[in-house]
Amino acid sequence: MNNYTVISQEEINQALIVANQINSYYYEKMVGQSDLGSALLISMIVNGHILIESVPGLAKTTAAKTMTEAVNGKFSRIQCTPDLLPSDIIGTQVLNYSTNNFDTRLGPVHANFVLLDEINRSSAKTQSAMLEVMQEHQTTIGGEIYPTPEIFMVIATQNPIEQEGTYLLSEAQLDRFFMKEKLDYPTEDEELMILNRIESDAFAKKDTVVSLADVKLMQDLVKRVYIDESVKRYIIKLVSATRHASSYISEDLAQYITLGSSIRGAICLMEVAKAVALLNGRDYVTPDDVKAKIHAVLRHRITLNFAAVADGVNEDQIIDAIIGKIPTP
């Protein structure tokens, strides 16, 4: 039996105040993209990583920097290119001629929020350099271990259209991301608002609204959110259905799946559901909390075959079909 420490209403209210302050700061600079805003906030609360996919120019970098500014965190931006080396990310040892010893210079990954811009432009060797730091929150340089900051989040972006000079992310790399968000173009009204804000210089940096200590408070609280065993089993059934789809959904859809979600998918779905519950002002998880961000958690953990691409079937359609077939507790 799990031992949950009861979360007081005062603690919940404090978490909601912090979340509202971060959201207010975000939407002062961002127009639309509400799904991305909530996904970035949830990733921050669970101390997880997020992959953002869209065509260029939809403010992915701006969103990442805005969230960092809101909490006064340290921000690093790494522009991924085919010639980027692992040492350019994690750091390296440099000979100090005055002491005749090697000095360690930590790379830009040692920050609170690390933006890997166009991650699929970096080579497989460079991508693999991120695996240790994303999973273990540490880097190894010259046999020495260097931990990242306690609050550490990788925000990676990729362009789904361009194929030349890009390298597909491996399943192991994709699985390290808690969530994957897909962005679409803004509406005409939203685009007009963007133009007006640029004219009025509304995108200038503003004063920080919360601190990293406030983020740590929310991270500690989300660990104490209660999740009943029946809801855990619901999560397991949803994830299991991606691996054995033909037993749950029609063969017409099941035939498109090559690989289902890993166990990490269930873990991430549980953690994200806890964060959703906390942001909804509750200290317990409901099935609706599980479904709130299930597409973002599972879409990059389901591998589809070429027939799916040819027939215009995507991962979200598979997830919707699974949700419709698994009984809600």
The residues facing 110 across adjacent strands are none
The superfamily CATH assigns to domain 7-192+211-222 is P-loop containing nucleotide triphosphate hydrolases (3.40.50.300)
- pTM of this structure: 0.89
Residue 204 has pLDDT above 70, yes or no: no
- Per-residue pLDDT tens over the stretch 156-197: 998 876 566 677 788 888 899 999 998 888 888 988 988 888
Conformational region of residue 301, where left means phi above 0, alpha means psi within -120 to 50, and beta covers everything else: alpha
Of residues 162 and 104, more confidently modeled: 104
Compute the average pLDDT of residues 56-60: 80
Domain ranges of the chain: 7-192+211-222, 225-329
- Per-residue pLDDT tens over the stretch 128-166: 888 888 888 988 888 889 999 999 999 999 887 656 667
Compute the average pLDDT of residues 102-109: 87
At residue 295, the pLDDT reads: 96
The residues facing 154 across adjacent strands are 114
At residue 162, the pLDDT reads: 59
CATH ID of 225-329, from 1.10.260.40, 3.30.300.20, 1.10.8.80, 3.40.50.300:
1.10.8.80
- Per-residue pLDDT tens over the stretch 304-326: 999 998 999 999 999 999 999 99
Q: Which of 321, 301, 294, 314 is nearest to 39 (CA)?
A: 294
Write down the mean pLDDT value for the chain.
Answer: 88
What is the band of 205 on the pLDDT scale with cuts at 50, 70, 90? low
User: CB neighbours of 252 closer than 8 A, spacing ≥ 6?
Assistant: none
Residue 225 has pLDDT above 90, yes or no: yes
Q: Is 210 within 8 Å of 269 (Cβ atoms)?
A: no
